[in-house]
A and B are shown apart, each in its own frame.
Chain A
Amino acid sequence: MAYSHALQALGDPTRRSVLEQLREGPRAVGEIAAQLPVSRPAVSQHLRVLKEAGLVTERQDGTRRLYRVDPDGLAGLREYLDGFWEEALASFKAAAEAEERRKK
């Protein structure tokens, strides 16, 4: 499923940092790299992974290529977590009610 890619992409601290920066607004590769202790090519590589995971989109702005957060990707990630807790709680409910019946 798609969100596992997003979760995997976010497993890397540098990629999380890149995404944190992009949450503040669209940035070019050089601007992102300037804030991080990693090289520009490394940032490009991280951006590629984030893009493939659906978390980041890019567009050309004159001579610059700007990267921004893809709100749809983040919404999807949230839905995934939402579904995760729903599943866990449904399972909990069944166990608690079975225990209640057992006690009666």
Chain B
Amino acid sequence: MTTMTTEAITKQIRVDADPETAFDVFTGRIGDWWPLEHYSVFGREATVAFEGDRIVERSPSGEETVWGEVLDFEVAGRVRFTWHPGRPGDEEPTEVEVTFASDGDGTLVTLVHGGWDRLSEERRAGRVDYDNGWPLVLERYAGLTT
């Protein structure tokens, strides 16, 4: 009935830049392009960056919140990270994988946002934990996007 919400969200975009540049801008300069004015915990004055194995948003006054943890980092190829913005201690985060594939003189960037089904997997494994698992991302953004 509602299986569509548990399928991964897949987005593809072609970029007129080589995979190295695309990867560098995505990971190294996320703070330059991320629409913080619409999607952030601290608002438009915040910054966000890949810092080591974490994606961290910081407010001008020095608060920080972790959006996710980097799981794979293959330069010019692929980055994979957990994704739980607004919920720094989330034990059942969703997951995002972004791949960069050479496409002529550009790069095909594919983003897959999945991990929605973890709760059902847990249940199949016999561990019922009602406190986790709903496909939830951005609830803290809600107030900022209205």
Task: Find the A residue at minimum CB distance from B130.
Answer: A17
Please determine whether B145 and A1 come into contact, CB atoms closer than 8 angstroms. yes
Q: Is the pair A93, B13 in contact by a Cβ cutoff of 8 Å? A: yes
Whole-angstrom CA separation of A69 from B134 in the bound complex = 13
Contact between B5 and A16, CB atoms less than 8 A apart: no
**Contact between chains at B113 and A85 (CB < 8 Å):** yes
Contacts across chains A and B counted by CB atoms under 8 Å: 121
Per-position 1/0 for A34-67, Cβ under 8 A of B: 0110000000000000000000000000000000
> Complex formed: what's the CA distance from A80 to B6 in Å?
14
Q: Are B134 and A95 in contact (CB under 8 A)?
A: no
Q: State which size class the interface on A falls in.
A: 35 or more
State the majority secondary structure of interface residues on B: mixed
Cross-chain contact of B11 among A35, A89, A99 (Cβ < 8 A)? A89
- Contact (Cβ within 8 A) A100 B2: no
- Find residues 41-89 in chain B having any chain A CB closer than 8 Å to their own CB: none
Q: Find chain A residues with CB under 8 A from B145 CB.
A: 1, 4
Q: Are B16 and A11 in contact (CB under 8 A)?
A: no
Interface size class of B (residues with CB under 8 A): 35 or more
* CB-based nearest B residue for A6: B142
Whether A10 touches B131, Cβ cut-off 8 Å, given contacts A74-B2, A74-B4, A96-B21, is: no
Instruction: Using known A-B contacts A1-B145, A23-B1, A91-B34, determine if residue A8 contacts B119 with beta carbons closer than 8 Å.
Output: no
| Interface hub of B11, B21, B142 (most chain A Cβ within 10 A) | B142
- Which partner residue on chain A sits nearest B128 by CB separation? A35
Q: Let me know if A7 and B35 touch, CB within 8 A.
A: no
Q: Is B32 an interface residue (CB 8 A)?
A: yes
Contact assessment for B111 and A96 in the assembled complex, using a CB-CB cutoff below 8 Å: no
Across the interface, B136 reaches (CB within 8 A) one of A4, A5, A10, A69, namely: A10
**Which B residues lie within 8 Å of A78 (CB)?**
4-5, 9
**Residues of chain B whose beta carbon lies under 8 Å from any beta carbon of chain A:** 1-2, 4-5, 9, 11, 13-18, 21-22, 24-26, 29, 32-35, 38-39, 107, 109, 111, 113, 119, 130-134, 136-143, 145-146
27 residue pairs of the A-B complex, CB under 8 angstroms, read A4-B142, A4-B145, A5-B142, A7-B141, A8-B143, A10-B136, A10-B139, A11-B136, A16-B131, A16-B133, A36-B130, A71-B1, A71-B4, A74-B4, A75-B4, A81-B137, A82-B11, A88-B35, A89-B13, A90-B13, A92-B15, A92-B33, A94-B33, A95-B33, A96-B25, A96-B26, A97-B17
